[in-house]
Amino acid sequence: MQDPKYVKDAFADIADKYVFTNHVLSFGVDIFWRRKVAKMISSRNPINVLDIATGSGDLALEIQKKCPEAEVIGSDFCEPMLQQANKRGLERTVLADALNLPFSEAHFDVVTVSFGLRNMADWSGALTEMFRVLSSGGYLIILDFSLPQGFIGHKLYRFYLHKILPAVAGLITGKRSAYQYLGESIESFPSGEKMCTLIESNGFNLAKFHPLSGGIATIYSAEKK
């Protein structure tokens, strides 16, 4: 669980460099991860979609592109990040804390969160709010970092995560500490079956996980039945 003030301040400080830094650090692969999520969502022909912790709007913009008939709302508790999302073309944004969403019950067909649940102060509390605003039969998708399996891959990735990534990100943003925090948060975040258990313990059904790029990221999906 994370300190919300630290998270908000950290993202506010790097908001204008966030998108570029992410693409550099992932070698552009994060773009394809989000496209995969947007394609999964478009196949369901949603009427409305809520992207929680939307940040600079990367996933919401992909969904907006793939689902032009749907209303796509991006919410975040960091206003400078939402300003970046607006500049980049996200049509509707809402300043809101994921633990206290200003939406009625059963309002959205799809709820998403990419690289955001890990940063929240209460993972179960956030999932409970996602469940509340999702309609019956609605679809939840979570995209987040995970740790690859296998000794060599695991060791190499952790070296990159804790040594190389903060150094490179620090040069780009001037905020090395924010990216040192990133590695620490990934280490403590549940993944695979553990995340599916957490999702289902907060009311969802049929939780599944889909590792990406050797397991350095994972898509989790579930339904509200």
Pairing of strands 134-145, 217-223: antiparallel
Q: Which residues pair with 145 in a beta bridge?
A: 217
The pLDDT of residue 1 is above 60: no
**Contact call for residues 220 and 207 (beta carbons, < 8 A):** yes
SS3 content of the chain, % helix, strand, coil (to 5): 50, 20, 25
Q: What is the pLDDT of residues 151-189, one digit of tens each?
A: 656 788 888 888 888 888 788 788 777 777 778 888 899
The pLDDT of residue 136 is above 80: yes
Can you give the length of the chain in residues? 225
pTM above threshold 0.85:
yes
